Structure 1
Amino acid sequence: MKRQNLVVVGGGSTYTIGMIMSLVAEKEQFPLKSITFYDTNAERQEKIAKATEIILREKYPELDSFHYTTDKEEALSNADFVFVQIRTGGLAMREQDEQIPLRYEAVGQETCGPGGMAYGLRSIGDMIELVNDIRTYSPDAWILNYTNPAAIVAEALRREFPADKKLLNICDMPAAIMVSYAGILGKDVFDLVPEYFGLNHFGWFTKILDKEGNDHTNTIKRAITEDGFIPEDAEIANDPSWIHTFKQVERMVTDFPEYLPNTYLQYYLYPSQMVEKEDPSTTRARQVINGREKRVHTLADQIIEDGTTENVELEVDIHGRYMIRVAASMAYNNGDIFIVMVENNGTIANLPDDVMVEVPAMITNRGPKPFAVGHISTFYKGLIEGQLAYEKLVVDAFYENSYEKALQALTLNRTVVDAPRARQILDDMIEANKDYWPALHASKQVVTNQ
């Protein structure tokens, strides 16, 4: 089994240590020759990288080399796989993304609604540049992109790189939900076979089978409505915000019992309730800054100070395991089935071919082979078409530097709806992002002065 050369872009991420522990846990399925971290923030990356050196020395002695750098050519040359997890603007801009909509009683969330639009408009340019850089230095590498908001990023990359068959956008949220399904059933998450359709952060499980073909969907629905639903993945299990989010699944299944929902649908189905529970001074971004970021940096500091992992508790989470299992299926042509984002091309029969849908696919060394979903009914089609129009308009706004397209996008989005409110939010977001969107900022001035 060939050992792979892996590059992790966004080496300073708070998810990186969990990713490393997942690579350790999965080293028999996805053996590595080298790991390289690449990040544009040297200080942020260094702390995570120094802790990682110690983890790998103790837990992955088979690895030939590990290093970290801010030099793109050094990092990206001779890669077999590149895992991408970047956040343009960092958590500081995420906090703006969440606070601004809340001023106008609209959902403030990093990937949904106005926050997702802002994050997406910042991410697209950096992702295009990064993919071009990877293709310059490692033209045959597999690129697995985790960067959010994945739906908007995937649409932009589809337009920019239509012929690139080794670029795959994925999200771990369906898998994190399935970890809880597995807990209900007393099974391992990778023993479950999902049937699913939708867009990223906007989809539904139609069935949950096991590898023997047994259908457990009704058992899961009954358990959710009778016993409640809790997050069980290590990264989110004790997080109050995620506990509340999983609690909302009970309501969604009660209101719309046909399918099992992605947790993010709460923002689109119950936007007023989502606004009511939020405090602009303690948004989710602030909770992450004071919670996961602080916890991970404290963990890294202790590992570095001790020179060992003996005094800390390190956990494997689905964020890393999911990406690694997908990569292994690509590398070794395993044909495993995972939920990923692909160009539709008839997969969902009554949606356009040129949209990025999220569906189960067999993962091979020739890329994902999606399973046909067929026609979807009016309720789901209507919701999806509105969200698709929003996503496409956001990407149009990026390429055209169009204030009008951005305003249309926000007005369409179910978390906003009201046109005057959409304009207020957009104007504030353009001002907050003027260093990231100078052309859109200029476009706004033109519109204002007309």
Structure 2
Amino acid sequence: MKQQNLTVIGGGSTYTLGMMSSLIAEKDAFPLKRVVFYDIDADRQALNAQATAILFKEQYPEIEEFIYTTNKEVAFSNSDFFFVQIRTGGLLMREKDEQIPLAYNCVGQETCGAGGMAYGLRSIGDMITLVNEIRSYSKNAWILNYTNPAAIVAEALNREFPDDKRILNICDMPAAIMVSYAQLLGCEIWDLVPEYFGLNHYGWFTSIRNKNGDDLTDKIKNIIMNKGITAVDPEIADDPSWQATFQNMKVMLQDNPEFLPNTYLQYYLYPEKMVAKEDISNTRSRQVMNGREKRVFELCQRIISAGSTKNEQMHADIHGRYMVRVAASLAYNTGDTYLVIVPNNGIISNLQDDAMVEVPASLTNNGPHCFAVGKIPTFQKAMIETQLGYEKLVVDAWFEGSKQKLVNALTLNRTVINVPKAKKIVDDILKENQMYLPQFS
């Protein structure tokens, strides 16, 4: 089995150390020869990298080379895979993204609604630049992108690079939900086969089967309706916000029991409820800065000071393991099934072909081979088409520098749907993002 060369773009991310634990957990399925970290923030990256060097020495000595760098030529040359996890503007801009809509009593969230629009607008340019730079050094490498908001980024990349079949956009949220399903059923996530359709952060599980073909969907629904469901993945299990999110799945299922919902649908189905629970002075981004970010970098400091991970609890979360298994299926042509974001092209037969949909696919060394979904019901179709219009208008606006299209986009988005509010929110977003979005000036 060929050993792979991997570059992690966004080496300073708070998810990086968990990803490295996932590489260790999955090393038999996805063996590595070299790992490179790349980030524009050298200091944040250095903390993760120095801790990772110790972790690899103890638990992954088979890796022949591990380096971290801010040099693009070094980072982008001779890699087989790129894992991309950037956050343009960092957590401080995420806080602005959340606060601006909340000031108008609209959902303030990093990927949904107006906050997601702002984050998406900032992400598009950096992602296009990154892909061009990667391709100047590594023509045939797989680029696995999980930069948020994935729906907007995927739409932009598909327009800019329509012929690049080695860019794959992925989200781990459906997998995090499936981990909780597996816990309800007393099995492993890898034992479950999902049927799913939608847009990123905007979809539904139509069925969950085991590998014998037994349909477990009604069993899952009954457990959720009677006992509820909790977040169990280690990365989010101790987070009160995520536990509240999973508890809302019971409410969504009670209100519409046809399909099992993605957790993010709560923002679109109950926007007033989601706004009411937020504190504009203590946004989710502020909680992450005071919580996960602080915890992760304190962990790195302890590992570096001790020169060992032996006294630390390290875990491989689903965020990392899902990405690594996707890469393994692509690298070794195993044809395993994962949920990925791809052009529709008839997969959902009553939805336009150029929609970027999130659906199950068999992953081979030629890319994803998607399973047909067929026609979807009127309610879900109408929901998707409205959200799709929002996403396409946001990307139109970025390429054209059109403020009007941003207003139109938020008018379609179920978290706003009010033209006067949309205008004010767009004004505030463009004011805060002037340095990132010069085309609107």
2-structure distance, mates of 1:366, 1:10: 26
Amino acid at match of 2:156: A
Q: Does 1:63 align with 2:63?
A: yes
Amino acid at match of 1:324: V
- The corresponding residue for 2:301 is 301
1-structure distance, mates of 2:191, 2:67: 35
Structure 1 residues 7-61: Cα deviation after superposition (integer angstroms, max 9, x where no partner) = 0000000000000000000000000000000001111101110001000000000
- The corresponding residue for 1:158 is 158
Offset at 1:115? 0.5
Amino acid at match of 2:195: E
2-structure distance, mates of 1:79, 1:138: 6
**Percentage of identical aligned residues:** 65
Q: Does 1:371 align with 2:371?
A: yes
Q: Does 1:386 align with 2:389?
A: no
2-structure distance, mates of 1:316, 1:403: 42
2-structure distance, mates of 1:279, 1:423: 23
Offset at 1:211? 0.5
Q: Secondary structure at the match of 1:235?
A: coil
Structure 1 residues 212-260: Cα deviation after superposition (integer angstroms, max 9, x where no partner) = 1011000100111100110010000010000000000000000000000
- The corresponding residue for 1:117 is 117
Amino acid at match of 1:382: A
C-alpha RMSD of the superposition: 0.5
1-structure distance, mates of 2:49, 2:95: 26
- The corresponding residue for 1:431 is 431
Offset at 1:439? 2.0
Offset at 1:79? 0.4
2-structure distance, mates of 1:310, 1:26: 20
Offset at 1:437? 1.1
2-structure distance, mates of 1:288, 1:21: 21
Equivalence map 1:28-427=2 (5 Å): 28-427=28-427
1-structure distance, mates of 2:398, 2:73: 27
Amino acid at match of 1:207: S
2-structure distance, mates of 1:344, 1:29: 30
2-structure distance, mates of 1:210, 1:52: 36
1-structure distance, mates of 2:158, 2:36: 27
For structure 2, list consecutive stretches of 5 or more residues without a partner in the other structure: none
1-structure distance, mates of 2:163, 2:200: 21
2-structure distance, mates of 1:58, 1:14: 21
2-structure distance, mates of 1:326, 1:425: 38
Q: Which deviates further from its counterpart, 431-440 or 223-232? A: 431-440
Q: Which deviates further from its counterpart, 236-245 or 428-437? A: 428-437
Q: Secondary structure at the match of 2:258?
A: coil
2-structure distance, mates of 1:393, 1:354: 13
Offset at 1:438? 1.9
Q: Secondary structure at the match of 2:316?
A: coil
Structure 1 residues 284-322: Cα deviation after superposition (integer angstroms, max 9, x where no partner) = 101100010000000000000000001211011000000
2-structure distance, mates of 1:148, 1:302: 30
1-structure distance, mates of 2:392, 2:336: 30
2-structure distance, mates of 1:86, 1:148: 8
1-structure distance, mates of 2:365, 2:251: 40
Normalized against structure 2, the TM-score is what?
A: 1.00
Structure 1 residues 370-390: Cα deviation after superposition (integer angstroms, max 9, x where no partner) = 100000111000000000000
2-structure distance, mates of 1:370, 1:199: 15
2-structure distance, mates of 1:312, 1:281: 33
Q: Secondary structure at the match of 2:338?
A: strand
2-structure distance, mates of 1:35, 1:210: 34
- The corresponding residue for 1:448 is none
2-structure distance, mates of 1:335, 1:191: 15
Amino acid at match of 1:276: A
1-structure distance, mates of 2:229, 2:106: 26
Amino acid at match of 2:100: I
Normalized against structure 1, the TM-score is what?
A: 0.98
Q: Secondary structure at the match of 1:194?
A: strand
Offset at 1:163? 0.4
**Count of aligned pairs between the two proteins:** 441
1-structure distance, mates of 2:234, 2:260: 22
1-structure distance, mates of 2:261, 2:349: 20
Q: Does 1:3 align with 2:6?
A: no
Structure 1 residues 389-435: Cα deviation after superposition (integer angstroms, max 9, x where no partner) = 00000000000000011110011100000100111111111111111
For structure 1, list consecutive stretches of 5 or more residues without a partner in the other structure: 443-450
2-structure distance, mates of 1:321, 1:280: 34
1-structure distance, mates of 2:133, 2:141: 11
